Amino acid sequence: MIAIEHLNIVFGQGANRSHALKGVDLEIAAGESFGLVGESGSGKSTVLNCITGLLSHWTGRISIDGTDLSGQRDKAFYRKVQMVFQDPYGSLHPRHTVDKTLKEPVLIHGLGDANARVERVLDEVGLGNRFRFRYPHQLSGGQRQRVAVARALILEPSVLLLDEPTSALDVSIQAEVLNLLQRVRKERNLTFLLVSHDLAVVSHMCSRVAVMNRGEIVEQVNRNQLQAGTFSDRYTTQLFKASKGYDRSVINGFVDHFTRSEEA
Amino acid sequence: MTQIPLLTVENLNVTFPSPKGDVQAVRQVSFSMSNEKLGIVGESGSGKSVTGRSVLKLLPSYADVAADRMEFKGQDLRNRSEKEMRQIRGEEISMVMQDPKYSLNPVRTVGRQIDEAYCTHRKVSRKEAKERTLEMLDAVKIRNPKRVYNLYPHEVSGGMGQRIMIAMMLIPEPSLMIADEPTSALDVTVQMQVLAILDDLVTQRGMGLIFISHDLELVASFCDRVIIMYGGRVMEICEARNLKASSHPYTRGLLNCLPKINGSDEYLPILERDEAWHSDQFSVSDRSAQ
């Protein structure tokens, strides 16, 4: 469904030059739930931004459903691929009601039947009609994130790009949103590309995981390997240990891991 | 396990007036602590930060704070004037905030800010203060203290900024540190390194630490004892190592809805909130905490 080959992107020039993605390769099958983990600055969100076209100066190949992406994305692309962002406070227009926010993509794509679609999708994300004419500030964080998911689903996409969809939420609300995402994935047979810094969330949601460090994918593992903690890469091993909770004895062994190309 | 309590709080209540009626953010909170790592966990709005701030009287003046007892090393904190509190803040009790970006002065170098924290509480020369600052930066595992001394806050990373904050809070050698989500904005490996610094300070210097966090797993593995808060009330106080075996319905509910690395991909149990948790039946009243 999603194929990425040798994706490269560079920000800045001269002394400020930062090579944010260094030849990223990914292959994600239709209906698969794929996780991308790494620490801040590892480039995991940049991959999503390249796919959606929020960044345009990348090199390499990205193809969705067999079609190579280049230049401006067309409407057909956005009917197929939708994104949910980390911050439910920042990603909804503060002066648009839920109704207006959800109708906008329907109008842009000329799908018609907007009222029925809004009602249906609000039911699907567990909000219901009574939230329809509220403004974002009248909703809690979890409710806002449900609206963001509804906005992505209303175009009936086949791929959802999820950029830390629950890291701004309390754990009890996180559980609700994760369950919602899993349910819609089963019902609609969606392909997920989920970016997260939380290994537990990724292990819960995804069947395969790629670990990123400093713009490179250092390792790809399946869920069983992630759960057993069997990694071949030292960076992944350290990340796994750190995610297991506080243990004074392992921390002195932590080092900054450079990627293979940086050491070379 | 308490010998001479470092801090004792009894029946703390904090109320914020609002146009829609008063909001009681903290209700009947009581605890006492010695030189240990005490965790306060809860979801947003549970009153954990307000509890931490009320110890240092850092709440806005319109907040109504009342307590039967609030004693630090035997001195009553309740009727201290603002001037007296300034002596206690930093020197005796210090606080580390969540985000170093907002807590450091953007137009002064890191070194000068730490110097200031030292000079406010000690009569020392500039040169001596600088030496102490460099030592302190080294103690929080900053690799090149001399270089970092002359940097501005925007020139350092988040993890380093948080270490600088901790260095600044530690330089007057307080006996109690209140850390409000000190590592939530950091990557896991950096988070663990910062926690190791705090841990060493507690074990080596005998400092007391109140660690406010929303992360149950982290608190269970890092702290000695844990206070669980919900709706401004203390749900339970337990030994951190027994946290995962807790029988309190709220704590159980929170633990269950965490995704686990080794868990299945089934739906997560949802936390069913019970109105009864807002009653005395489920919270620790001031008497049973003694």
Domains annotated for chain B, with CATH where assigned, are 1-82+177-290 (3.40.50.300), 93-173 (no CATH)
Smallest CA-to-CA distance from B287 within B76, B31, B72 is with B31
What CA–CA distance (Å, rounded) separates B288 from B290?
A: 5
Paired with A47 in beta bridges are none
Cβ B193–A254 below 8 Å, yes or no?
yes
Which of A176, A182, A248 is nearest residue B199 as measured by Cβ atoms? A248
At A168, which amino acid appears?
A: A
A-B C-beta contacts closer than 8 Å? 99
| Cβ-proximal residues to B241 (8 Å cutoff; 6+ apart), any chain | B220
CA distance A179 to chain B (A): 5
- C-beta atoms of B262 and A203 within 8 A: yes
Mean pLDDT of A167-195: 93
pLDDT confidence of residue B1 = 47
Q: Which of these, B96, B76, B75, lies nearest to B212 by C-alpha position? A: B96
Average pLDDT of span A178-197? 94
For B:141-180, CB contacts with A below 8 A are 158
Confidence label for A259 from pLDDT (cuts 50, 70 and 90): low
Report the alpha-carbon distance of residue B267 to residue A204 in Å, rounded.
Answer: 9
Strands A2-11 and A18-28: antiparallel
Please give the ipTM for the structure prediction: 0.81
> Given pLDDT bands bounded at 50, 70 and 90, which one contains residue A57?
very high
> What is the pLDDT at residue B3?
61
pLDDT at residue B190, rounded to an integer: 83
What tokens appear for B50 in the block?
Answer: 């307000």
CA A59/CA A10 separation, integer angstroms: 9
Which two three-digit tokens encode residue B2? 């308490």
Query: Could you give the residue ranges of the DSSP H alpha helices within B1-72?
Result: 48-55
Find chain B residues with C-beta within 8 A of A252's C-beta. Answer: 196
Nearest CA in chain A to B217: A245
Mean pLDDT rounded to a whole number for chain A: 91
In this prediction, residues A118-135 reach a mean pLDDT of 93
Q: What is the mean pLDDT of residues A54-68?
A: 93
Name the closest residue on chain A to residue B266, using Cα atoms: A204
Min CA distance, A114 vs chain B (Å)?
Answer: 31
Overall fold of domain A31-59+69-263: Rossmann fold (3.40.50)
Q: Which long-range contacts (CB under 8 A, 24 or more apart) does A179-184 make?
A: A179/B267, A179/B268, A179/B270, A180/A125, A180/A126, A180/A146, A180/A149, A181/A149, A181/A205, A182/B265, A182/B267, A183/B267, A184/A124, A184/A125, A184/A149, A184/A153
Sites in chain B below the pLDDT cut of 50: 1-2, 286-290
Q: Using a CB-CB distance cutoff of 8 angstroms, which residues of chain A are in contact with residue B187?
A: 39-40, 197
Assess contact for B177 and B169: CB atoms under 8 A: yes
Output the six-digit token pair for B268. 């997560």
pLDDT of A108 strictly over 90: yes
The Cα A55–Cα A43 span in angstroms is 13
Say which range, A120-124, A256-260, B38-42, B59-63, has the weakest mean pLDDT.
A256-260
Give mean pLDDT, residues A135-159.
94
Please tell me if residue B269 touches chain A, with a CB cutoff of 8 Å.
yes
- Considering only residues 191 to 220 of chain A, which have any Cβ-Cβ distance to chain B shorter than 8 Å? 197-201, 203-205, 207
B189 at interface of A, judged by CB pairs closer than 8 A: yes
pLDDT of the residue at B2: 45
Coil, strand or helix at A220: strand
For the residues A29-57, what does the mean pLDDT come to? 92
CA torsion B275-B278-B280-B283 (nearest 10°) is: 110
Question: Is A166's Cβ below 8 Å from some Cβ in B?
Answer: no
Give me the pLDDT at residue B289, please.
43
